[in-house]
Structure 1
Amino acid sequence: MSLQSFIHSLQQYKGTSVFNPWRDYDKQCDIGPEAPAIRSQQLVQYLQRRLASARFLCVAEAAGYQGCRFTGIAITCERMLLNAHRQITSAMILGRNGQRTSRPDCVYMTSNPQRRSGMNEPTDTYVWGAIIDSGLVPDDIILWNIFPFHPHKESPFTNRTPAERELVQGIAYTQALLALCRPDITIAAIGRKAADTLQSHQIPCQAMRHPANGGAGLFRRQFAQWTAQQADV
């Protein structure tokens, strides 16, 4: 499978109470009908920079409304792509300026910083911060989600835990991504559900604490230990 075929396969997915960032357009939340194409192109450019050489793959559970829902890139929020983040820049992610796809006047936005600078996701900040703090070159790691789409409740600005059937559906995309990566790539799972799903499909990984809900400190330590161990191999 080529990268373009992989992106095309993502664009075909359709689920109940699931937003597909690379296929779906929400006129209440997106800047315009071009939003899915922008997100698709950003994912293509993100992966093009990394597939041939990245040594690490970090896999979380699912896309969230504050991150991948509007960027098309796992564990990455708009403020990073718009150079409005305090630590992470678009050059680290894409090598160029990214584009916003959230509507500044979206009725679901609750703060002026969201309207002015785009969406921001704390988990994305923790993970990218760990990457930089560990001294990794950003192109040396790929971020992904077991269920790469955004599962939500009634409001589009909510997240829900993916159902078991969705995790089973999602693992096929992780396997397809792995087939495009270098064969010796090392995998870490962020959160128990991601670890359990990978391991149940015979994909070896290092399990890490999810940084949310008080887990940021342990996650940072585990991430630093993991990358340091791989440097010694």
Structure 2
Amino acid sequence: MRESKLSPHQAKQPPSIKMCGLSREQDITCVNTLLPDFVGFVFASSPRQVSITQAARLKSLLDSRIKAVGVFVGESVDEIVKLVDSGVIDYIQLHDSNEIESSENFTRRESRILALRQRTSTPIIKAIAASNVPNILAQQESTADLLLLDNAKGGSGKCFDWDYVVRAREAGFDREFFLAGGINAGNLSRALALHPYGIDLSKGLESNGAKDCAKMHEIMEILSKHRT
């Protein structure tokens, strides 16, 4: 997939929208009316976790124009490839529990990407803790198709300091990435101003711990204004 390192902030393309952590059939019904570019099924331990059976059911109901992303933390390559081969997911998103991007950690995670590359051509998103500028810059040569810049604790619903992105770009970072962590209707315009490849939302789409279709509609309305 990595045809170019040209980022959408350079190409001035409208960002993609990913609605993550869907777990109910009514969530799918809602996104099928909104048509975000991606939805996310969380297979890692989380309040939003779904089983393989649940995910397969949800994918069967999903509009074919929407790509399903599988979110993983430590699951085996065999488990991930099984979900790809069965058509449950279209993209792979890999997280890591270690927020420090040491050389050893980087090598280990890139080896995992290589192991998946040997088994599937499915695009791979590498999620990182954007807890400082060096952590972001360290990903410049990652073999992942896309990056996802998140808070040090993914799924926390909290933003990281987005100035890190600005400073990393000034230092030469030009990779395509999803911006994640604490994005909601109140700060979406500011997130879009960073011109990421995509915006990843989860907790910002929820009320009382469940996806709220009204909030999902609100997000798409804000996005439509930025696309016109």
Same fold (TM over 0.5): no
Higher percent of residues as helix = 1
Whose relative contact order is higher, 1 or 2, with alpha carbons under 8 Å and at least 6 apart?
1
TM-score normalised by L of structure 1: 0.28
